[in-house]
């Protein structure tokens, strides 16, 4: 269940392109044809599936505060998290190079289709962003980190596939001249992002949030109109009281 939730959240709600604008450069540059977009998208999924879990291991066993305790007592207090940028980007750059060599050796067909895109990926913000979000959201297990890498990759893949298909069609439309090319692509992406925002409510279950929000609003309104000199702490206590009462009634 935890895996499924993370999977859908990373693809639809926190979509790399539409919610956090990561990987926009290659998203705009390589989305003129569907076939090249598919190639780049596949390469991104592939690289993210490798780098996110790898960086998770680095973060967990070397960089975090106290992560070095497996080396012995005297290392337990080291905090190397300021090095995470440099470690993550070095891992990504090396992994991309390594993947390129391996793919070239064992699957020349795949290499030919991905070939030109692989070096581009080292500087794709989506890849580094995936690792940094993995760190800041404190993902718990290696399995979840792998899941997060794959599903954010799929989210990015979906986005670039959709925009490439739209751009292929829009070539036959009469777009105002100054908007042609980059301008209209931005506006379409904006509209798609509005569409993706509707997925936001997908994982909040039923009526639960409403039940807790309502009394707070009523209370704040009454506090504002009647007594204005109440301390913030007091109002917080009052809110708790109202919540408790509501629970008891229920």
Partner 1 sequence: MGLLSKKDAKLITDPLFDNNPITIQVLGICSALAITADLKASIVMSIAVLFVLGLGNVVISLMRNIIPSKIRIIVQLIVVATLVIIVDIILKAFAYELSKTLSVFVGLIITNCIIMGRFEAFALANGPWKSFLDGIGNSLGYGAILVIVGFFRELLGSGTLLGIKVLGDPIEKTGVYAFGYENNGFMLLAPMALITLGIIIWVQRARNTSLIEN
Question: Minimum distance from CB of 215 to partner 1 (Å)?
Answer: 21
Nearest residue (CB) to partner 1, 56 versus 88: 88
What Å distances lie between residue 104 and 30, 101, 108, 112, 244, CA to CA?
22, 5, 5, 8, 64
Q: Applying CB under 8 A, which residues contact partner 1?
A: 18-25, 28-29, 82-86, 88-90, 93-94, 119, 122-125, 127-129, 132-133, 136, 176-187, 189-191, 193-194, 197
Nearest residue (CB) to partner 1, 70 versus 172: 172
Nearest residue (CB) to partner 1, 69 versus 115: 115
Nearest residue (CB) to partner 1, 117 versus 133: 133
Question: Minimum distance from CB of 35 to partner 1 (Å)?
Answer: 21
Question: Minimum distance from CB of 182 to partner 1 (Å)?
Answer: 6
Question: Minimum distance from CB of 247 to partner 1 (Å)?
Answer: 31
CB 26 within 8 A of CB 120: yes
Question: Minimum distance from CB of 116 to partner 1 (Å)?
Answer: 14
Question: Minimum distance from CB of 24 to partner 1 (Å)?
Answer: 4
Nearest residue (CB) to partner 1, 187 versus 203: 187
Q: Which of 37, 85, 32, 36 is nearest to 59 (CA)?
A: 85
Nearest residue (CB) to partner 1, 29 versus 241: 29
């Amino acid at each position: 269940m935890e895996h499924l939730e993370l999977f859908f959240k990373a693809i639809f709600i926190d979509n790399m392109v539409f919610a956090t604008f990561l990987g926009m450069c290659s998203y705009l540059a390589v989305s003129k044809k569907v076939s090249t977009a598919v190639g780049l998208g596949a390469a991104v999924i592939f690289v993210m599936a490798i780098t996110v879990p790898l960086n998770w291991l680095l973060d967990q066993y070397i960089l975090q505060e106290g992560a070095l305790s497996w080396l012995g007592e005297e290392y337990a207090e080291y905090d190397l998290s300021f090095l995470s940028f440099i470690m993550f980007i070095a891992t990504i750059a090396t992994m991309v190079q390594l993947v390129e060599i391996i793919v070239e050796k064992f699957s020349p067909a795949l290499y030919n289709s991905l070939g030109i895109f692989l070096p581009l990926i080292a500087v794709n913000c989506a890849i580094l962003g995936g690792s940094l979000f993995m760190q800041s959201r404190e993902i718990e297990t290696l399995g979840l980190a792998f899941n997060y890498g794959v599903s954010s990759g799929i989210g990015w893949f979906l986005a670039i596939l959709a925009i490439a298909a739209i751009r292929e069609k829009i070539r036959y439309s009469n777009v105002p001249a100054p908007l042609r090319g980059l301008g209209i692509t931005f506006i379409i992406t904006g509209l798609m992002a509005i569409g993706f925002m509707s997925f936001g409510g997908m994982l909040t279950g039923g009526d639960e949030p409403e039940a807790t929000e309502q009394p707070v609003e009523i209370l704040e309104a009454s506090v504002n109109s009647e007594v204005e000199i109440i301390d913030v702490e007091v109002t917080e206590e009052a809110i708790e009281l109202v919540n408790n009462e509501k629970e008891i009634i229920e």
